[in-house]
Amino acid sequence: SAVISQKPSRDICQRGTSLTIQCQVDSQVTMMFWYRQQPGQSLTLIATANQGSEATYESGFVIDKFPISRPNLTFSTLTVSNMSPEDSSIYLCSAGTEYYGYTFGSGTRLTVV
């Protein structure tokens, strides 16, 4: 199964600024996924990152707030834009296949002050 490196592991940001989170996979994968996990909660899918096309966003998430790049089959970034304290969460990327299952990056703990 895929091994995913995610960075930064944590950051404290000022409101109104933006943070870009990176995920690198050790093998080529068709789709990568970005999730948000608010404190003490389960995971919510933000979007699916497809190589060569725009990301597909879930209800409640928009491209202007969470722009995603997918320049190749092993890398993706998620930007959290114009941050507010409500964006304080853990952000996780994921990749894999139905057969082998999906692995996750180690997560980015974001605190907005």
Contacts with another protein by CB under 8 A lie at 1, 31, 33, 37, 41-43, 45, 48, 90, 92, 94, 98, 101-104, 106-107, 109
The dihedrals phi and psi of 76, each to the nearest 5 degrees, come to -155, 150
Pick between residue 39 and residue 85 the one whose CB is nearest to another protein.
39
CA distance 90 to 88: 7
- Least distance from C-beta 99 to another protein, angstroms? 9
Pick between residue 6 and residue 112 the one whose CB is nearest to another protein.
6
Amino acid found at 30? T
**What DSSP state is assigned to residue 58?**
P
- Least distance from C-beta 16 to another protein, angstroms? 26
Pick between residue 48 and residue 79 the one whose CB is nearest to another protein.
48
- Least distance from C-beta 100 to another protein, angstroms? 8
Tell the burial category of 32 from Cβ atoms under 10 Å away from its Cβ (0-12, 13-18, 19+): buried
Written as six digits, the tokens of 3 are: 């091994």
Pick between residue 58 and residue 63 the one whose CB is nearest to another protein.
58
Apex 90 CA angle, 84 and 96, nearest 5? 130
